[in-house]
Structure 1
């Protein structure tokens, strides 16, 4: 449902308020941006009103990085927020089919009505629990999974569960990528980190300015540092988010764990 970015106060005008059994949903406008918030203190998502497909937050931009590493035909996004990551991938990969799973129907409605989320046959939106959705996915049925599951004030515990990591790995096609947005780096001697290493021969990490950690896992060995600069420059021409600058902050994590 979007990462939480805390601000002393979100400045701007509240232009829309909705509520459901999970709480309030606020749409806030300032001069340049539109913000999705669940409580007016934390930013769940943020777009530039003139360019709604361009992510504002650094962590959102970083989550797109595997689009340089491969060309996914099917993308699964767990947690919609305002839909900026979905919108970016929709624009960037015109041949890809996208499936978004979002827990809150009101969030889906607001993303479409207030944040310019496209309506297209290539984009499927499902209102469901991400845990059940990923469990039900057929083996090797998607090429890229992005998971950004947050409530009003915390990351969903689901993202820290070994079973969830296993289910994501099972659903990925060969050479598929999993992208996880964590509020902090998993402990390197913990069971979650060991599971990530066990499932993904290639494991990378990016630390954002807001101290979010984006973890990338590929189910095949992959060396992104040998990609030519022109691959990133080509992406920059299509979606100007600073691809090379993002890549320079990526580091490799430890080798795969032993069984």
Structure 2
């Protein structure tokens, strides 16, 4: 789209608009950033224009934190957006295979064209409903699952369903990690956290500046904290997102009250 429109909500210029059966897809530029939005109010993805591999949102950065403790060979991402997570993983894991499941083909096209998502045999994007895709993943077939499923104005209900958590757990290897981005903290005695505790011996949590809650489930009971400083320095050299500061905000999820 050649015409540049001014967005009244997100600061910047709308430089591209697409539409599919699910609604609008907007690309917005400000001086430093490129933003993906579905409605011009909420930012789905945000990258530095001069360094598109660097995610800007703190919760996106936090979702990468399991790499402070493990080096997966196979990673699965549910929900592409502008590709901030996928691009960050691609940069951090030069030997890993990354599979992404994205519902909207036009979102994937825009991630490649406007957000510099790499074209590589190591980065495979499937156009599919992530809720169905995770059910069909082979058992113990991936080392890490990162799920960030949102529409224009809400989180996908799938992320808070016990069956979804069970399907993710089944697909993870024995040393696997599940990373979930929630718009609010689940109820401490609710079904979701009960299922997470049932499936994962170790649960960690991160609260972002925007009040997103990232929950991490690890298939092993080994507590990885504190992270090795040398490893954090290596990660920071590959992707400068402030690894030490992020890791310091991690906490163990408290057990349920008796």
Q: Please report the TM-score for the alignment, with normalisation by the length of structure 1.
A: 0.94
Match of 2:156 in 1: 156
1:26-45 CA distances to partner (integer Å, 9 max, x unpaired)?
00111111100001111111
Match of 2:80 in 1: 80
Distance 1:117 1:58 in 2: 19
How many residue pairs get matched? 251
> What's the CA shift for 1:229?
1.6
1:125-155 CA distances to partner (integer Å, 9 max, x unpaired)?
0000111100000100000000000000000
Match of 1:115 in 2: 115
> What's the CA shift for 1:68?
1.3
1:111 to 1:186, Cα distance in 2 relative to 1, 3 A: same
1:22-76 CA distances to partner (integer Å, 9 max, x unpaired)?
0000001111111000011111110110000001010000000011111100000
Please identify runs of 4+ aligned residues in structure 1 that moved more than 4 A: none
- Which moved further from structure 2: 166-175 or 246-255? 246-255
Match of 2:4 in 1: none
Distance 1:173 1:137 in 2: 12
| Structure 1 unaligned spans of 5+ | 1-6
Secondary structure of 1:225's aligned partner: coil
1:162-206 CA distances to partner (integer Å, 9 max, x unpaired)?
000000000000110000000001101100010001100010000
Correspondence 1:51 to 2:66: no
Distance 2:23 2:8 in 1: 21
Distance 2:228 2:115 in 1: 34
Correspondence 1:218 to 2:205: no
Match of 2:102 in 1: 102
8 Å CA contact retained: 2:174, 2:220: yes
Distance 2:113 2:101 in 1: 18
Secondary structure of 2:225's aligned partner: helix
| Structure 2 unaligned spans of 5+ | 1-6
> What's the CA shift for 1:224?
2.1
Correspondence 1:34 to 2:34: yes
Distance 2:116 2:8 in 1: 27
Match of 1:137 in 2: 137
Correspondence 1:205 to 2:223: no
